[in-house]
Amino acid sequence: MDKIILNRIELLGKIGVLEEEKRRAQRYLVSIVIRADIKVAGRTDRLGETIDYGHVFEMAKSLMDVSDCELIECYAECLAGQILTTFPKAKSVTVEVLKPDAPIEGSFESVGIEITRTQGD
């Protein structure tokens, strides 16, 4: 299966359980892998035969802008559902959400989650 990949989109949002996280925007790194048959797009060079990654980027950004989720799991689930609903050509989608500035004492690059959903889930 072919893949459309958006790697580490940097977004600002207020996802979190703590009041501090809800008040001040934090950085999130979102990666999306959509599995779909895109060979017709490769052969015809027509955007309508693939999944427009620009549209997917805007979906991820718009959802982050309005998200009232407390958990990054909730954001990822909502985004995966939107992608699968909007693009029936997508067979599955994997969404990774990393939180590099999580309010945790200690040294780390990021914390995060990754989910995979398929059409019909």
Query: Is residue 79 scored above 90 in pLDDT?
Result: yes
CATH of 2-118, one of 3.30.1130.10, 3.30.2020.10, 3.30.420.40, 3.40.50.1240: 3.30.1130.10
22 is catalytic: no
Q: What CA–CA distances, in Å, run from 106 to 7, 56, 101, 109, 110?
A: 26, 34, 11, 10, 11
pTM of the model: 0.94
> pLDDT: is 33 or 19 the higher one?
33
Phi, psi of 58 (to 5 degrees): -65, -35
Task: Map out the domains of the chain as residue ranges.
Answer: 2-118
Query: Is residue 82 scored above 90 in pLDDT?
Result: yes
Query: What was the pLDDT predicted at 121?
Result: 82
Q: What is the mean pLDDT of residues 94-102?
A: 95
DSSP tag of 99: E
